[in-house]
Chains A and B, each alone.
Chain A
Amino acid sequence: MAKHNIPEVKANWEATEGMWGMSIDMDVCTGCQACVAACAMENNISFVGEEDAGYGRSLHWMRIEHTWQGEYPEVTPTSFEPVLCQQCGNAPCEPVCPVFASVHSKSEDLNLQVYNRCVGTRYCANNCPYVARVFNMRDYDRPDPLSNQLNPDVTVRRRGIMEKCTFCIQRIHKGQDQAKSEGRDVLDGEVVPACAQACPADAIVFGRIDDPESKVSLLAKSGRGIQLFEELGTLPRVTYLKEEKTYGRTG
C-alpha cells in the first residue's frame, strides 16, 4: 500500500521563512492597472463581461484597491493598493479544502491551487482574509483573436474551479530550469512575474526572501514595510512599503 503523506498543514509551515516573496511600494504605485492587465494576459484569465464583472465575478488575480476615507467634506483618497494572493506561510485556505485542491508546495514554498482536483466547494475563498481567490462561475468565451494569445504554459480553467495568483510559477520554473542547465543558482531579479514586469513605476519587486541580500529582502527590511493583517498570523509573503506604516494616506 502506498504511503499516504497528509501534510500537517499548520505544524509544518509555521516556522518557515519562505522562499519567494514580493514587495509592493504603495508610495510609488500610480494605480495604472498595468499589472492587472499583464497578469490577465500571462495567466489566461477569462474575461467575464461587463455585467458579471459589475456583480463581483471578475476573475482577476490582482485588484487595485482605492477607497475614500474621512467624513464629507474632509474626504481623502487612500493610496493605491494592489492586492493579490499573499502566498501565506500559514494559509487559512489550505486546511479547509476537503479534497486537497488548495495545497502548499514544498519545493517552492508557495500556496498552490490544483485545478484538476478542485470540486468547487468555495470554502477556501470564504476563509481567505485577503479575498484573493476567484471562482469560475461559467465557461467564458474567448472570441477569435483572443484565443490566439493563450499562454501555453498555463492551464485554461473551466467552470466550477477556484483560482488565484500563483506568483507566476511557470516563470519561476523557467528561471530555475535555465539556471540549472547553466549550473548556477537563480540570480536575484532573474525571475520576474508578469505584474512586476509590467509595472511602469517599478513598484513591484519580486525575489527570494530567504536571501538576505536580495532586493526584495532589503526593501522589506527598509523600515517602511508592513504586511496586510499580520495580526491574523497568516505569515504573508508580500510586503507593502508605505511611509508612516499605516494603511492608506493619512493627510
Chain B
Amino acid sequence: MAVLANSAPHQHSQANSAEHDHEAHLREEHLMLDPRPRGEMNAMVMESMLVTSWKFWVVAVALAAVVAYCLGYYWYRMIAEGLGIAGVNRPVYWGIFLVNTVFWIGISHAGTFVSALLRVFKAEFRRPFTRAAELMTTFGLVQAGLSIFMHMGRIWLAYWLFPYPNERGLWPNFHSPLSWDFLAINTYLLSSTMYLFLPLIPDLAMARDRSTGWRKVLYRTLALGFRGTEGEWTHLRFAMNLFAFAILPVMFSVHTIVSWDFAAAMRPGWSSTIFGPYFVVGALQSGLSAVAMVIIVVRATMKNMKYFIRPEHLDAIGKLMLIISMAWAYFFFNDYLVQWYNGDKWTDILLKFHEEGPIGWMWYAMLILNVALPWLTLWNKNIRRNPTILFIIGFLINVAMWFERYIIIPTSLSINRFPFTYQFYKPGVEIPLSIGTVALFVLLYMLASRIIPLVPVWEVQEGQMAHSLRKFGKESIVTVSDLE
C-alpha cells in the first residue's frame, strides 16, 4: 500500500488533490493509517477511563439494584427453600440454569477467539478491540459459573466437586462429564484471565505513569514494575505468543466438553456425535455477535472510542458473523440429519416435538434468526458498517442461540422413552435469576471500563508504527510480523 501515513501535513498542489482526497479517505477509514502521537493517544485512553458522566452512575446504580433483587434475593430464597420455586420437574431436571450456563460459556468463547486466533493469524483489524473481547470472556465465565451453582440442589456442598485432599480419601468421579466440565471451565477461566492480564501490563504501566492517588497505587501494583525495556518486551511478547497458541485448544476443549454433558448421556436427541463441533460453532456464533454488541456499545458510550473503533472493525466482525452463521447452519443440518437418518423411534418423536410441539415457534425462530437473518443482511457492506443495525442483528442472533440451547435442554428433556412421564417445563425463578446474570455482566463490564484501559494502546501504536514505517521504501521495512 503506497500510502503516506505521516501525521505531519503535506504540501500539495492542485494537481494531486485527488490523490490527497484518496489519502484522507484512507486515513478516515483505517485506524492503522491514521496515527496520532503517542502522548495524545495515551491521554485519550486515560480520558476514556477517567471521564464518567452522571448517567453512568445512574445506570450502574440501577443495575446494582437489579442484581441485588433478581440475583441476591431470589437466589437466597432458592437456597433457603429449595429448587421448588424454580421450574424444574420430572423429567425436565435441567432447565434454564443450564441453558444460561451453556449460553454464557458460548459468549465467553468469542472473546478469546477474537483475541487469540486473530493474534495468531496476525489479523490487523483485531488491534483496538482485543481487550474488550477478552474482558467479555472473563465476565461471561463468571455468569456461567454462577448459573451452574444456581442449578445445584445443595450449593453449600459445591466444593465436593473439587479434587481436594480429605481424610476419607474421597475424590470426585472422573467418569462423570460434569467433572470434566468443572475442570475445563476452571482451566479456561484461569488461562483466559492470564491471557487478559499479559497484554494489559504495558497499558497498566502507561496508566501508572499518568495517574495519581489510589489509581496510582493500583496500577503500580498491577503493572509489576514494567518499565518498557527491550528485555521486558521480549519476555512479554514470548509469553503472549505462547498463550495465544496454547489457549486455542483450551477454548475448543471447553465447549466440546460442555457438549459432552449432553452427548455422553443416553437420551434421544442428546447422544449425537456431532455435538462437539456443533457447540463450538454455536458458541462462536453467539460470542461474535456479543463482541459486536459490546464494541458498538463501548463505541457509542465511552469518550474517544470513535477514534479507535471504526466502521472497518464492525465490517470485519460482520463478515466473520456471516461466515460463522454459514458454518452453524451446516452443523445444525449435520446434527439433524444424523439423528433423523438413524430412524430411532424416540428420536423421531423428539424431532417432531421440536418442530410441532407447543414451543415449535422457538425452533423456527432459531432457524430464521440464526440463518435467514444474517444471510439476508450481512452480505451488505452498508448494513455491516451501521452500528445500530449490526447491534440489532447481534442481539437477535444471541436470542436465537439462547433458543437453540433451550430446545436442546428443557424441550428435549420433556420427551423420553416413557410417554406416561412426558411433562412440560414452566420457568419459575429462573426468569429473575437470568435477568440478574445479564445485569451483573453489564455492571461488571461497566465498572471494569473505569479501571481497565479498554483499548490496548500499545498494540494500536505498534500497528500504526508498522504501517507508517513502510513508506521509507528503500530502507529496511519493519513489518508487523517482525514486531511480533
Taking beta carbons and an 8 Å cutoff, which residues of A are in contact with B? 1-4, 6, 9, 52, 55-58, 63, 65-67, 83, 92, 95-100, 117-123, 125-127, 129-131, 133-139, 159-162, 229, 232
Among candidates B157, B265, B419, residue contacting A96 with C-beta atoms closer than 8 Å: B265
Contacts A119-B152, A121-B153, A121-B178; is A131 near B90 (CB within 8 Å)? yes
Interchain nearest-CB distance for A56 vs B (Å): 4
Q: List 6 A-B contacts (CB under 8 A).
A: A66-B420, A67-B420, A98-B178, A122-B88, A129-B267, A136-B153
**Interfacial chain B residues near A3, Cβ < 8 Å:** 169
**Interfacial chain B residues near A121, Cβ < 8 Å:** 151-153, 178
Given A56-B89, A121-B178, A139-B81, 19 extra CB contacts under 8 A: A2-B169, A4-B169, A6-B171, A92-B265, A98-B161, A98-B182, A99-B160, A99-B173, A100-B171, A100-B173, A119-B161, A121-B151, A123-B265, A126-B265, A130-B418, A131-B91, A131-B418, A137-B82, A137-B84
**Interfacial chain B residues near A63, Cβ < 8 Å:** 420-421
Interchain nearest-CB distance for A193 vs B (Å): 22
The distance in angstroms between the C-alpha atoms of A4 and B84, with both chains bound, is 36
> B176-197: which residues lie under 8 A (CB-CB) from chain A?
176-179, 182
Task: Determine whether the beta carbon of A135 is less than 8 Å from that of B154.
Answer: no
Task: Determine whether the beta carbon of A123 is less than 8 Å from that of B83.
Answer: no
Task: Determine whether the beta carbon of B423 is less than 8 Å from that of A56.
Answer: yes
B205 within 8 A of A: no
The distance in angstroms between the C-alpha atoms of A56 and B425, with both chains bound, is 10
**Interfacial chain A residues near B88, Cβ < 8 Å:** 122, 135, 137
Task: Determine whether the beta carbon of B176 is less than 8 Å from that of A136.
Answer: no
The distance in angstroms between the C-alpha atoms of A139 and B267, with both chains bound, is 29
B413 within 8 A of A: yes
Task: Determine whether the beta carbon of B153 is less than 8 Å from that of A161.
Answer: yes
Interchain nearest-CB distance for B286 vs A (Å): 23
Task: Determine whether the beta carbon of B161 is less than 8 Å from that of A99.
Answer: yes
Interchain nearest-CB distance for B425 vs A (Å): 9
Task: Determine whether the beta carbon of A98 is less than 8 Å from that of B154.
Answer: no
**Interfacial chain B residues near A127, Cβ < 8 Å:** 265-267
**Interfacial chain B residues near A117, Cβ < 8 Å:** 160
Chain B, interface SS category: loop
Task: Determine whether the beta carbon of A159 is less than 8 Å from that of B83.
Answer: yes
**Interfacial chain B residues near A162, Cβ < 8 Å:** 153
Chain A, interface SS category: loop
The distance in angstroms between the C-alpha atoms of A129 and B268, with both chains bound, is 10
> B131-176: which residues lie under 8 A (CB-CB) from chain A?
151-154, 157-158, 160-161, 168-176
Task: Determine whether the beta carbon of B418 is less than 8 Å from that of A65.
Answer: yes
Interchain nearest-CB distance for A168 vs B (Å): 22
Task: Determine whether the beta carbon of A135 is less than 8 Å from that of B153.
Answer: yes
The distance in angstroms between the C-alpha atoms of A75 and B30, with both chains bound, is 72
Contacts A56-B421, A67-B420, A98-B179; is A119 near B158 (CB within 8 Å)? yes
**Interfacial chain B residues near A135, Cβ < 8 Å:** 83, 88, 90, 93, 153
Taking beta carbons and an 8 Å cutoff, which residues of B are in contact with A? 81-84, 88-94, 151-154, 157-158, 160-161, 168-179, 182, 261, 264-267, 413, 416-421, 423, 426
The distance in angstroms between the C-alpha atoms of A6 and B174, with both chains bound, is 9
The distance in angstroms between the C-alpha atoms of A3 and B83, with both chains bound, is 37
Task: Determine whether the beta carbon of B417 is less than 8 Å from that of A138.
Answer: no
The distance in angstroms between the C-alpha atoms of A192 and B170, with both chains bound, is 34
Interchain nearest-CB distance for A41 vs B (Å): 21
Contacts A56-B91, A125-B93, A159-B82; is A118 near B154 (CB within 8 Å)? yes
The distance in angstroms between the C-alpha atoms of A3 and B173, with both chains bound, is 15
The distance in angstroms between the C-alpha atoms of A135 and B151, with both chains bound, is 13
**Interfacial chain B residues near A83, Cβ < 8 Å:** 418, 420
| Residue on B nearest A234 in the bound complex, by CB | B266
Interchain nearest-CB distance for A121 vs B (Å): 6
Task: Determine whether the beta carbon of A125 is less than 8 Å from that of B152.
Answer: no
**Interfacial chain A residues near B153, Cβ < 8 Å:** 118-122, 135-136, 159-162
**Interfacial chain B residues near A99, Cβ < 8 Å:** 160-161, 172-173
Among candidates B81, B90, B419, residue contacting A138 with C-beta atoms closer than 8 Å: B81
**Interfacial chain A residues near B261, Cβ < 8 Å:** 123
**Interfacial chain B residues near A92, Cβ < 8 Å:** 265-266
Among candidates A122, A131, A137, A161, residue contacting B421 with C-beta atoms closer than 8 Å: A131
Contacts A55-B89, A57-B89, A120-B153; is A160 near B82 (CB within 8 Å)? yes
Interchain nearest-CB distance for A57 vs B (Å): 5
The distance in angstroms between the C-alpha atoms of A159 and B85, with both chains bound, is 12
The distance in angstroms between the C-alpha atoms of A52 and B418, with both chains bound, is 20
Q: Which of A99, A126, A136 has the most CB of B within 10 A?
A: A126
Task: Determine whether the beta carbon of B173 is less than 8 Å from that of A95.
Answer: yes
The distance in angstroms between the C-alpha atoms of A55 and B89, with both chains bound, is 7
**Interfacial chain A residues near B265, Cβ < 8 Å:** 92, 96, 123, 126-127
**Interfacial chain B residues near A129, Cβ < 8 Å:** 266-267, 416-417
Task: Determine whether the beta carbon of B178 is less than 8 Å from that of A138.
Answer: no
Q: Which of B81, B82, B161, B421 has the most CB of A within 10 A?
A: B82
| Residue on B nearest A134 in the bound complex, by CB | B90
Q: Which of A58, A97, A162 has the most CB of B within 10 A?
A: A97
| Residue on A nearest B178 in the bound complex, by CB | A98
Contacts A65-B420, A160-B153, A229-B417; is A123 near B89 (CB within 8 Å)? no
| Residue on A nearest B159 in the bound complex, by CB | A119
**Interfacial chain B residues near A120, Cβ < 8 Å:** 83, 152-154
Task: Determine whether the beta carbon of B82 is less than 8 Å from that of A96.
Answer: no
Task: Determine whether the beta carbon of A98 is less than 8 Å from that of B81.
Answer: no
Q: Please name the 3 residue pairs, one residue from A and one from B, whose CB atoms are nearest each other, closest first.
A: A120-B153, A160-B153, A159-B82
The distance in angstroms between the C-alpha atoms of A63 and B176, with both chains bound, is 28
